[in-house]
Chain A
Amino acid sequence: MVNEIIEGFLTAVHLISTGDPTVVEISVRAVLVSGSAVLLSMLWGLPVAMLLGLKRFPCRFIVKGFFTAMLGMPTVTLGLLLYLFFSNAGPVGPLRLLYTPTAMIIGQAILVTPITVSFVASAIESVDPEIADLAKTLGASEIQASIAVLRESSRGVLLALTTSFNRAIAELGVVLMVGGNIAHSTRVLTTTIALETNKGEIALAIALAIILLVIVSTLTLTVSLIQRHKMSRPAELEKMRT
């Protein structure tokens, strides 16, 4: 086992240092697909999160509970549902989206939406409610007050962004089922790892897994550093508050 991992590590170093075109291609595709998916999920996730975090309305806890429960949505289940949805025999079949990168982006965006909603809503809830009131007494509109609160919960938004991206780029079920793992078209890191393992190319599979880990940890580390940098300037934060 150790031998295979060492061999995989050496293969990874070799593939990265020589800029192996296939590896670069699937890594870039994986980052672009998952990055787009996260952006797309913010589009509908942020408004829902703000609504849940700022407003009190009947059945709010049910909606919130739904998104919390969906955090654990198994990727294969979502993949299967989306396959049936995108299939030529399915409701949006005529759009011919099955086995395209677009379908993968939409699928992953839906997958990570609960992360955006739950994390951001919780972050907003934990912001001192006086901030919104304060902003309003200073003459801010409803939307401006909301934005002020959102700015205060930027930590939560950032955490939602990184967690979403990490979940998206590391998942297999959705991209495999709606993408089909087609070479030069819908093949990404996780689907290649699964395929190469099936083919018995263990070293290559481990190398790709290492690349995936490097991408995920680099992103997480960068975000933590940015946050530390920001948090080390409390004076400015105070200034923003007043």
Chain B
Amino acid sequence: MRKAAFGWAVLLVVVVVTSVTATAYYLEPSTADRVIVSTTTSLYDTGLLDAIEATFEAKNPIDLNFISVGTGIAIQHARRGDADLILVHSPRDELGFLKDGTGLNRKIIAYNFFAIVGPEDDPAKIRSMLPAEALTKIVETGRNGTETLWVSRGDNSGTHSKETSLWTAAGFDSATLTQEGWFASAGSGMGETLKKADYFGAYTLADMGTYMKYVKDDLISSVTLVGQAEDLLNVYSAVVVNQTLHPRVNFDGALSFVKFLVSDEGQQMIEQFGRATYGQSLFHPAVGLLKTNADPPLAQMIRDYAFFNSTECPPEYRRGYPELYD
């Protein structure tokens, strides 16, 4: 009798283990070459990467796995060896990532502009000002009032990093501003932050991709007040994780996706994305612009902002794939 009870218990354990293992096995993704891409939210949440993924995977035996996080977390993932490739937009952080040995073969893939968006009635009267002037006006108006006037991402994302440097350029310390009543640190993604700014009738710094999507879908009524200035340039890059440091990283798989992104076809897809829906591109391809110098002032602007020692990737941070830097 005692044996029978024990037998039942063992049987139960076996059944549970078998069914759980079978389920896990069934759910496990394809055995195709897996490339984990930690990406900034704007590239994924707008739908761009999903569109590119389908075309890329049809031609390559690689399974792209996108993890949509902020630039700060994407770099953290990569440092721990949890991503094979990062798509980010914060040149200063990217340089740090190359310098600490984790990042290799950086390649600029696209650009667009950030914009300062805010309520239609524009309480601080910043319309068409330069970014630094506009921010100064917002600080003055905010300090004289009681309402929330600026919503910051506050999440160490690429946009947040841009915002911090804009505050610095305007002569303010964003860490100090956080303490003031009119300055709200949202700690949320771009979409959520736009909604908060819209709700409070406040200003915020937005990437154009997410902003246009939210306006198109009628989720916010904020308008663009300051845009297209050199200080608001937004440059997206791909950086591959060093496989010497993290041996399990899929280095070649990651690079075949980078090569696709900078190929004519990939660049074309970036340019075309969103045109049908929004009447304009959300992201502009950067490779041809930098190579042919078609628009010298704009190309120079990108170099000034996102190049290190007059190259997108200094030679000491390159491994193989010389064709990327022809």
Contacts and interface: CB of A to CB of B under 8 A. Distances in A.
A182 B81 contact: no
A40 B45 CA distance: 34
Contacts of B26: 32
Contacts of A140: 1
Interface in B14-44: 16-17, 19-20, 23-24, 26-29, 36, 41
29 contacts: A32-B23, A32-B26, A36-B19, A36-B20, A39-B19, A40-B20, A43-B13, A87-B80, A88-B80, A89-B82, A93-B81, A99-B36, A99-B65, A102-B24, A105-B24, A141-B1, A143-B6, A144-B1, A144-B2, A144-B5, A147-B8, A180-B65, A180-B67, A182-B67, A183-B66, A198-B45, A199-B45, A200-B191, A202-B219
Contacts, number: 100
Interface string A76-97: 0000000000011110011010
A165 to B, nearest CB: 14
A53 B26 CA distance: 36
A141 B29 contact: no
Given A87-B81, A105-B23, A195-B45, A185 B191 contact: no
Given A105-B20, A182-B29, 12 more contacts: A33-B23, A87-B80, A87-B82, A96-B248, A99-B65, A99-B82, A101-B27, A147-B5, A198-B41, A198-B45, A200-B213, A200-B219
Interface string B284-316: 000000000000000000000000000000000
A117 B82 CA distance: 33
Interface in A181-204: 181-185, 195, 197-202
**Which of B5, B17, B36, B47 has the largest number of chain A CB atoms within 10 A?**
B5
B50 interface: yes
B199 to A, nearest CB: 13
B105 to A, nearest CB: 20
A12 interface: no
B217 interface: yes
B189 interface: yes
B192 interface: yes
A124 interface: no
Contacts of A202: 219
Contacts of B41: 198
Given A88-B82, A181-B68, A182-B67, A143 B5 contact: yes
**Which of A32, A43, A100, A198 has the largest number of chain B CB atoms within 10 A?**
A198
Contacts of A136: none
A98 B81 CA distance: 11
Contacts of B248: 88, 93-94, 96
A167 interface: no
A29 to B, nearest CB: 6
A36 B21 CA distance: 9
A89 to B, nearest CB: 4
Interface residues of A, number: 40
B214 interface: yes
Contacts of A33: 23, 27
Contacts of B82: 87-89, 98-99
B246 interface: yes
B246 A88 contact: yes
Contact of A100 (B1, B28, B80, B219): B28
Q: Is the interface of A mostly helix, strand, loop or mixed?
A: helix
Interface string A40-54: 101100000000000
Given A87-B80, A182-B65, A143 B27 contact: no
A105 B191 CA distance: 30
Contacts of B219: 200, 202
A143 B2 contact: yes
A94 B82 CA distance: 11
B204 to A, nearest CB: 15
Given A87-B82, A88-B82, A143-B5, A199 B24 contact: no
Contacts of B246: 88
B4 to A, nearest CB: 8
Nearest to A142: B2
B6 A89 contact: no
Interface in B263-287: none
Given A42-B16, A88-B80, A185-B65, A101 B28 contact: yes
Contacts of A184: 29
